[in-house]
Amino acid sequence: MGERSEHPPGTFSWTDLATTDQDAAKVFYTSLFGWETDDMPVGDGSVYSMMKKEGREVAAISLQQQEQRAMGVPPAWNHYVTVESADAAAARAVELGATVHAPAFDVLDAGRMAVIQDPQGAFFMAWEPRRHIGAGLVNATGALVWNELSSPDLEASTSFYSDLFGWDIEPFEASPTPYLFIKNGDANNGGIRELDQPGVPPHWLAYFGIDDIDAGLAKVTELGGTVHAGPIDVGMAKLGIVQDPQGAAFALYDGELER
């Protein structure tokens, strides 16, 4: 079980869902993963719903910003990478061709963050931790286990993220289709695959651990979600690509887990 008290810079450390129906999403995910909810007031009558597994924070669910809803932006899971300085990470990302949609700002006393879109179009967040380190549990059932980028240009994405975070990105030779493994230091930190879905923009996809892929996919459907693919047997694990009832995509992972 991957209990954490800190995350090294360059690590995917947190994920949260921005959705159009916070209460319905909480029902869906607590039923699917057995999460417990801890609603934290954030002003204007809003709450940031911390989702916990075995008492440790694993993710969060919040109401999508009104501006995003008005523009028709679909619900989505956001991906946070720990950095030493959100300001420095945002500045470096711009030098490398990215777009900063929200310059670094303080999130109460939890940390400091910036919203960045990489040169190929995928969004992620740079997270400078203070009180909130990110997930206290990863690589476990009901917790974040993998982050995967779908990119239209593997070489360009490799160059950008290697330069920004110092990741080592190498081909997975056993894959029948082009796939890259991301390492942050000695730790596996996700993957990059070719974007092969017409009309779908470049994006990061969050994988959550589950004990039984078949039961998990059935539960998604029972709870009003949609199964887009799976079970997919990749040897070390069985995967499923799904969508919650509000439209946010994520993946299920049933297989070997790192510490």
Lowest mean pLDDT among 29-43, 153-167, 171-185, 213-227: 171-185
Residue 72 to residue 127: CA distance in whole angstroms: 26
Q: Is 231 exposed, middle or buried (0-12, 13-18, 19+ CB in 10 A)?
A: middle
- Does position 1 have pLDDT exceeding 60, yes or no? no
Domains 2-129 and 141-255 share a fold: yes
Domain boundaries, the chain: 2-129, 141-255
Residue 78 to residue 66: CA distance in whole angstroms: 17
What CATH number was assigned to the domain covering residues 141-255? 3.10.180.10
- Determine contact, residues 167/161, Cβ cutoff 8 Å: yes
Model pLDDT for residues 43-71, shown as the tens digit of each residue: 788 899 999 999 999 999 999 887 777 77
2-129: CATH superfamily: 2,3-Dihydroxybiphenyl 1,2-Dioxygenase, domain 1 (3.10.180.10)
Mean residue pLDDT across the chain: 94
Residue scoring higher pLDDT (259 or 109):
109
Query: Collapsing DSSP states into helix, strand and coil, what is residue 14?
Result: strand
Model confidence at 172, in pLDDT bands (50, 70, 90)? confident
Q: Amino acid identity, residue 201?
A: P
